[in-house]
Every structure is written in structure tokens, then in C-alpha cells.
Amino acid sequence: MAKLFVTYEDIHRHCLKIATDIRADGWEPEVIVAIASGGFIPARILKTFLKKNIYVVGLQRYDDDHAARPVPLKIQWIDEVEKKLAGKRILLVDEVDDTRVTLAFCLSELFRHHPAEIRVAVLHQKRKPKEAAFPPGVTVYQAVEIDDVWIKYPWDALDIDAHNLGQE
């Protein structure tokens, strides 16, 4: 499978594009929810542009043998979630919309707490059939749309210089 090596500079530019698109829509989130672990860094950069607090949820889609779970496992959730999310405009952030299973699961869990609205932001939108659907009316902000390639994010690199040169 082809690989796409993404740099921290790429991610920063992608987050700027997403923040610009959000502002162009005239929409302002009240909170950012990051899906761990791929959503951590994009959410933190978006905080710089949008000036909103971040909450983190931890979901595990794959087990230790890299086998996909049919339903993601909650490993971390928001304390006093009802108080923090009810009636709020939420920006849900992850690094990639690949199969959509994790994002759709997280949306369904967050909607149970009666937010005013949830929109999704991803750095990369993969052009491929999705295994799950978003509820009607959910807006998705994406920095770039890409083919179904293996994305190598810099936070997974052991040697950042080699990574930035497109090497393992």
C-alpha cells in the first residue's frame, strides 16, 4: 500500500485551513473534543486558532493484534459529561476519517448528552467506502481528501528526520 508521510508543518497548515473554514461558515464551537490519540495534536493546534477548551475521549478500535473491534471500546471519557456538553456546540476532532466507525460511534455517544450541535473536523478524509454513517445534518470539516493510502503521522515516528524525508 502506498504511504503518505505527513509532517508537523503539514498538520499545522491543515488545522489552519479547518479553522478558516469554520470561521467562513460563521460557526463557533464552544468546546473541542479530541479523540485520543490521533486527535490530540490537531485539537491542540485548533485550540490556538479557535480559543476553545479541549476535552479528550479515548476509544480503542483495534486490539493488540491489530484486529478491528466491531464496536470501539471506551477507555477514557469526559468526567461530568452531561454538565460539560449539554446544550453546547462541539467540534469533534480526529486525524483521519478512514472507515468512519470510530467517529460515528463517538458521535452517537456524544449526542446522548444533548449537545446543541456537533461538527466533525479531520485532517484527512479518505476516498473510500465507509463502514458507518454520520447522523443526518452533521457537518464535516476536512483539510484534504486523499486516496486510501497508509498515512504516516509524525507523532508515530521514531526518527523524525527520516520521517520528514519520507523514510521509515
Catalytic residues: 98
Residue of 142, 133, 131 whose CA lies nearest to 92? 142
Residue of 93, 98, 99, 79 whose CA lies nearest to 37? 93
In a 10 Å sphere around its CB, with 0-12 CB exposed, 13-18 middle and 19+ buried, how is residue 153 labelled? buried
DSSP letters, 33-91, are EEEETTTHHHHHHHHHHH--EEEEEEEEEE-TT-PEEEEEEEEE--TTHHHHHTT-EEE
